[in-house]
Amino acid sequence: MAQSATLLTETLLSKGRYLARFAGTDADLHAAQELRSQCFGTVKPDRDPYDSRCRHILIEERDTRALIGCFRMLTLESGQDIPQSYAAQYYDLSRLSSYEGRMAEVGRFCIREGAADADILRIAWGAITALVDAEDIRMLFGCSSFAGTEAAPYLDTFALLRQRHLAPGMWQPVIKAPQVVRFDSLPARVPDQKVALRHMPPLLRTYLLMGGWVSDHAVVDEGLNTLHVFTGVDVGAIPETRKRLLRAVAAPV
């Protein structure tokens, strides 16, 4: 496909084999919804009312233009707007309502099954970093999804999250959903870190490397056949070494 002026405007980042760009057409959005349905195992294309409120970012192979990954992003001016977020359906986020900086919800993060190249996740985070810096976003948040609705495969992961990565009390989401897995109700255990990390979604691992934190419970989402935990990171608290690495990926070449 020839690179038009419009496409160049839409492109956020292009490095190596991959590029990240905004979805600019209905066909782009439909392709993202189809990929989401494959990743979440839904029969119909995965779509909801939040799609019309968000910007959608596509990760493609640069040469073939094959869609490899996608995510959507909803920008909020401050915590007062957090009831508009997708996550607010499932979590009581009133403790974040006093947050004064701009926030962005990253959601529906998907990578095509079998696409194991670490550069895919890397370029996705490069695109997020470029948007965070350009738009002065102070907090990133979203729902980190675990496949299936049973807690048993994730006992080490949830134990590790409870032990090391719970949200500060002033921001901790409160239970709202009818079905949840409370971390403090699970059998006490010393987490096996290798097992915990192996069963942790890659997106969540990256959040935690940046100093991110999670809710003290997982929501059971029967519709998407997932468990998910609310995940946030205060951009100002990201370690400087990690910021430099992210900005190096986000920098144009």
pLDDT of residue 133: 94
Rg (CA), the chain: 18
- Buried b / exposed e over 59-70, threshold 16 CB at 10 Å, is bbeeeeeebbbb
Confidence tier at 236 by pLDDT (50, 70, 90): very high
Residues of the chain above pLDDT 70, percent: 96
Weakest-pLDDT range from 2-16, 86-100, 232-246: 2-16
Q: Is 50 exceeded by the pLDDT of residue 8?
A: no
**Owner of token pair 């690179």:** 3
pLDDT of residue 253: 64
pLDDT in tens, 15-53: 889 999 999 999 999 999 999 999 988 888 899 999 999
Pick the closest to residue 214 from 121, 91, 97 (CA basis). Answer: 91
Q: Is 80 exceeded by the pLDDT of residue 5?
A: no
| Cβ neighbours for 162, distance < 8 A, ≥ 6 positions apart | 183, 184, 186, 216
| Cβ neighbours for 51, distance < 8 A, ≥ 6 positions apart | 29, 33, 72
pLDDT in tens, 188-220: 999 999 999 999 999 999 999 999 999 999 999
Average pLDDT, the chain: 93
